[in-house]
Amino acid sequence: MTRVETGARVLSGAGERLATWRRGPRRRILAAVVLVTLVVSLTVIALVTRQSRDSGPLGFDYDGNVSLATQYIKRGEPLTYGLIVRNRGDQPVVLRRVEFVGDTQGASIGPALTAGVNRTWGSIATDQGFPPHGPDPGTLESLAGSVVPAHSDVGPDGSPGVGVNILIRLAFTDGDIHRFTGIRVHYLYEGDTRVYTDPTRLMFCPGTCPDR
């Protein structure tokens, strides 16, 4: 009898503790933990999803690392920097804007133009002046709204396509060495805003650029 009573007291005590726990601060702590976990999980999912959205159809398949140092630039005078983008997607890409990744202090950037896949004069990586010399101005168009055709990563004979040459105006008014770790290209694909970051490391120097 005593043992049963003891057991009942134990059970009763447990029930009370459970009831107290349900009402008490521990429950609020648990709720907070669950909420935080949920928020963190959703954030991670959102970030992962965003990352996958960024790895869209626009790009240039580098086979290694590339850097370009442009030396003996004339301070204050415009020059052209160009990059190639290709679209491996099934739908056209519509370009929106570009931005340099790095310290842009002392740099005047933009506007940007594009030369489409039908150009016949080659392409430009760096050139003096802007718009660049050589291409027929009639073949250039403003970057915003330019189209990179679907499947432009491959040419008619199966070799890499010529892609679209993005041409950006640059002028440096201040500073000695200007370094950039890449260029972000913002574009629309199937109604979604996406970003491609060209990884070419860039240096622009009024004199001789350092080795790295």
Partner 1 sequence: MTSTMLPAPTQWRASRMVIAVTVCIAAAVVLVYPSRADAALPSVELHLVDDADRPLANVLASLSVLDPPVDGPAGVAAVDVGQGRTNASGRVAVPVAFSDRLARLARTNGGWVNFEVAFEGQPMAFISFSRRWSGANWVDRSGASSAVMELQMRRLTAIESRAVASPRTMRTLSGYPHATCVWWGPISSTQSGAIVGELHTGHDVRGSFQYGATADSDLDVGYKYGSGSWFASGTAHVGTSESAEVAWINKGPEWRYALTSEFLFGKYEYIHDASCGPNGRYDYKVAVARWVGGTGTEAKKTGTWCTTTRYRTKYYPGSRLNRYSYRAHKYSVGISAFGATLGGVSGYSQYVDFSLTTGTQMAYYWLCGDTDYPTRSQVVWSP
SS (H, E, C) 71-119: CCCCCCCCEEEEEEEEECCCCCEEEEEEEEEECCCCEEEEEEEEECCCC
Of the candidate residues 79, 85, 95, 147, the single one contacting partner 1 (CB under 8 A): 79
Of the candidate residues 76, 106, 122, 145, the single one contacting partner 1 (CB under 8 A): 122
CB of 183 to partner 1, least distance (A): 13
What token pair was written down for 172? Answer: 């440096």
Contact 204, 77 (CB under 8 A): no
Which of positions 131-160 make contact with partner 1 (CB under 8 A)?
132-134, 155, 159-160
Of the candidate residues 116, 127, 177, 188, the single one contacting partner 1 (CB under 8 A): 127
CB of 36 to partner 1, least distance (A): 27
CB of 126 to partner 1, least distance (A): 4
Rounded to whole angstroms, the Cα distance separating 153 from 57 reads 9
Q: Is 181 in the site for partner 1 (CB under 8 A)?
A: no
For partner 1, give the closer residue by CB, 25 or 120.
Answer: 120
Question: Residue 73 burial (CB < 10 Å; 0-12/13-18/19+)?
Answer: buried
Q: Is 52 in the site for partner 1 (CB under 8 A)?
A: no
Cβ neighbors of 206 (< 8 A, separation 6 or more) are: 72, 73, 74, 75, 172, 176
Number of residues in contact with partner 1 under rule CB under 8 A = 41
CB of 189 to partner 1, least distance (A): 23
What token pair was written down for 133? Answer: 């010399």
* Residue in 155, 62, 169 with CA at minimum distance from that of residue 124: 169
For partner 1, give the closer residue by CB, 107 or 188.
Answer: 107
CB of 127 to partner 1, least distance (A): 5
CB of 167 to partner 1, least distance (A): 11
Region of 122 on the Ramachandran plot (φ > 0 left; ψ -120 to 50 alpha; else beta): left
Of the candidate residues 4, 51, 52, 105, the single one contacting partner 1 (CB under 8 A): 4
The type of residue at 96 is R
Q: Is 118 in the site for partner 1 (CB under 8 A)?
A: no
What token pair was written down for 51? Answer: 């990352």
Q: Which residues bind partner 1 (CB under 8 A)?
A: 3-4, 6-8, 10-11, 60-73, 79, 84, 120-128, 132-134, 155, 159-160, 162, 200, 209
